[in-house]
Every structure is written in C-alpha cells, then in structure tokens.
Structure 1
C-alpha cells in the first residue's frame, strides 16, 4: 500500500505514521509525508498512491485546493482535521472518511477497515477536471455520460458541454455515485438519464438517453442494467 500523509504539524505527522505502521506493518510499501500544499500537489502528480491522509489546514493554505484537484483520482482520501464543518463539506468531493483530531489508533483502524473492504456508498458531488489555465469543477448531477477516449475520458454534461479528462474509465468509476453504471467497455452512464433500453436481433443492445442520444451497450452489461431500472 502506497500512502501519502499531508500534514504540516510534525508531531501529528509522526503520530499518524506510527499508528499506520503498527496497524498495517509490511502491507505498507511506501509512506511519504508532505508538509505543504505545493509539495503535496507535486508529489501526487509524479507518484502513484493508494491512500491519502489529508489535513485541511496547511500552515495557512487550504487543503481543499488539493482535494479539488484530486477529486477524480483513483486513490482514496481520508481527512484528518479538527474542523468538523470543513470535513462535512469535504465529503462532497468523494472522501472515504473523516478522522477528527486528536487522532486515535482505534479511529484510524476503522478508517482503514473501510478502505480495505472498499465498501462505500459514494456521495461525490464534484469531480475536478484540469483545463489549460484553470480547474473545472463538474457536478456529478450534471453529468450525462462518460466515454473512454484514447487512454483518457470525455465527460459529457446534460447541457451539451464536454470535457477531456486525463483519467481512465476504471479509475473514475471508483469515485462516482452509485447511480452511474457501466453499460459498455467504453461508456459509463448516469442511470437517472436513461429513457429506455433497446434490443434487436444479432445481439443488438443500446441505451436511449433523455436527451435523445443512443449509446451502444455491451451484451454482458444488459442483464445487470435491466435489473436496476
């Protein structure tokens, strides 16, 4: 397991590191600590991680800036903060758990159990998509469907807007709410935007959306989708 701790308080960072090593032991393949927002942003860009422990107050900088940038990342985030109000807001960006300070071993173990079982009901409200000169926050409720595109994805909104995002379909599927469903190896669809399922001879399957668009559906996904709508 590859872990990143973003914490500007040395004592808190050391304490969390100690707890994680006691609980996980050899399961940890790497554990890195960053104390600044800029350092953590650079580290995430250059290094793959599985789990992020993020303090939302970093010596005057706001951890939400990192949270927004990584809201569609393939790793999970656990917030460690003394500010409950901020933590509640953080769940809108798909965080796995909130561990209040002062941190206890028992509470960290609960958060790790949630991570290792990978059982959660995603409540992600936004995904952050980097554009040339800014970060575009897209509300998941406004997403129509997502298409695989040359090792990246295209995010299509209900209003016709679309954005190219440098994530894979598999990685973004991990953080989307449960009403997003895979219908094809190349498509994830907002189930609330499906008007009908159409079938035909020769293994023909497609989904008609409320916008009138039709998307090809894989035969292996037909039964699971039919059972949910």
Structure 2
C-alpha cells in the first residue's frame, strides 16, 4: 500500500500515521504526509498511490478543491474531517468512506479495511464520476452512464449520449464505489440494471445483455443466473 495523508494539523496527522502503520503492518510500502493543497496536488500528479486520507479544511482552504482531483485518480479517497455536514457531498463525489473527527482506531480501521475488500463496500450513493481532462476535471453524472468496461488498469464509461470517457480507476475499484444500480455482469463489464431490455441466449451458450439503446454486452456464464434473477 502507498498512502498519502493530507492534513494540516501535525498532531492529528501523526495520530493517523501511527494508526495506519499499525493497521496495515508489513503491507504498507510508503506513507507520506503533506499539509497543503498545492503540495498534495503536486504529489498526487507525480506518484503512484493506493489511498489518500484527506482533511476538508487545510489552513482555511477547502479540501473540496482537491477532492475532485483525488477521486478522478486510480486510488481510493477517504475523508477524515470534523465537517460532518459535508459527508453527503463527499460521498456523492465518490469517496470510499468519511471518518468524522474525533475518531478512534476502530473507526479508522473500518475505513482502511474497505480498500482491501472486493465487491461493493460503499453504503452511500455516489452521483458523479470524476474524469481527468487535459487541463481540468469533469464530473460525469452517474445517471448518464449506461455501462462501464474494463480497459486494463483503466475503465471506459459509456454514456447515454453515445460518448465514451476514460476513467483512471480500475473496474474493481469502481465496483466498490457504485450503488446496487450497477451490477458486475462479466469480468470486464459493469452495467446499470435499469438499462437492461432483454437477455439473450445465443449459440454456444453465450449470454448477451441487450440494452434499451440496442447495444449488446456479454454476460459471464457464472453471472447469468444471478443477473436474470435480479432483472426479473
């Protein structure tokens, strides 16, 4: 695990660091602490990470200025903040968890363990997927996403208007974040269940999902019965 702590209070940062080291043990490869938004952005752009622990108030600057950049990355983001009223917005952006201050080790460990779990872990609906553009971050409303295809360590978002956007998160990481409205129907696909119009069984026991717009995407053999049961 490669982890970045973004926190302006050194006492709290040291506490988070101490707990994180104790929780991850030998699986922790690097742990860095940065106390400014600018420094955090620079670090994120130039280093490979698995997790960012982000405060939402950094010397008076809003952590939301960094949040869109963070959630567009390949890693997960966990908020550690006293601003509980901002939790819903943070979840809508696509954070893995929101740990309210003050916190204890058990609550932080609960959040950190979510990074190790396969499948859905988020208890709150996200509303946007943040996509990196050349000089900006674009928030794609989740309601516009029909299905998602794995593309190596990246994913491709297929939208209702026919456009396709590249996301830096893997299919596994997006599956953790997305609500039950999306199902893993194949090792390479996540599909919005409300877009399913028909399930076809083709020659050679191949299963295909036909979407309302006519597009066809494969259903894995091991997923077929489960997807059919949830659709009917």
Q: TM-score, normalised by structure 1?
A: 0.85
2:134 maps to: 132
C-alpha separation in 1, matches of 2:208 and 2:19: 50
C-alpha separation in 2, matches of 1:110 and 1:151: 26
DSSP 3-state at the match of 2:213: coil
DSSP 3-state at the match of 1:49: coil
How far has the Cα of 1:137 moved from its partner? Answer: 0.3
Cα RMSD, aligned residues only: 2.6
- Asked if 2 retains the 8 angstrom alpha-carbon contact of 1:6 and 1:36, the reply is yes
C-alpha separation in 1, matches of 2:221 and 2:46: 38
1:212 maps to: 214
Answer yes or no: is 1:42 the counterpart of 2:42. yes
- Asked if 2 retains the 8 angstrom alpha-carbon contact of 1:71 and 1:126, the reply is no
- Asked if 2 retains the 8 angstrom alpha-carbon contact of 1:126 and 1:138, the reply is yes
C-alpha separation in 2, matches of 1:133 and 1:40: 17
- Asked if 2 retains the 8 angstrom alpha-carbon contact of 1:72 and 1:172, the reply is no
Q: Which moved more, 1:186-195 or 1:117-126?
A: 117-126
Instruction: Figure out how many residues of one structure are paired with residues of the other and give that number.
Output: 229
After TM superposition, list the pairs within 5 Å mapping 1:138-157 onto structure 2. 138-149=140-151, 152-157=154-159
- Out of 179, 182, 192, the position equivalent to 1:180 is 182
- Asked if 1 retains the 8 angstrom alpha-carbon contact of 2:6 and 2:33, the reply is yes
- Asked if 2 retains the 8 angstrom alpha-carbon contact of 1:140 and 1:176, the reply is no
After TM superposition, list the pairs within 5 Å mapping 1:1-229 onto structure 2. 1-117=1-117, 120-122=121-123, 123-149=125-151, 152-229=154-231
Question: Is the alpha carbon distance of 1:219 and 1:20 closer, same or farther for their aligned partners in structure 2, counting shifts above 3 Å?
Answer: closer
- Asked if 1 retains the 8 angstrom alpha-carbon contact of 2:99 and 2:108, the reply is yes
- Asked if 1 retains the 8 angstrom alpha-carbon contact of 2:121 and 2:176, the reply is no
C-alpha separation in 2, matches of 1:201 and 1:187: 21
Q: TM-score, normalised by structure 2?
A: 0.84
Q: Which moved more, 1:146-155 or 1:27-36?
A: 146-155
Question: Is the alpha carbon distance of 1:81 and 1:220 closer, same or farther for their aligned partners in structure 2, counting shifts above 3 Å?
Answer: same
- Asked if 1 retains the 8 angstrom alpha-carbon contact of 2:5 and 2:31, the reply is yes
C-alpha separation in 2, matches of 1:6 and 1:83: 15
How far has the Cα of 1:181 moved from its partner? Answer: 2.0
C-alpha separation in 1, matches of 2:109 and 2:71: 23
Question: Is the alpha carbon distance of 1:199 and 1:22 closer, same or farther for their aligned partners in structure 2, counting shifts above 3 Å?
Answer: closer
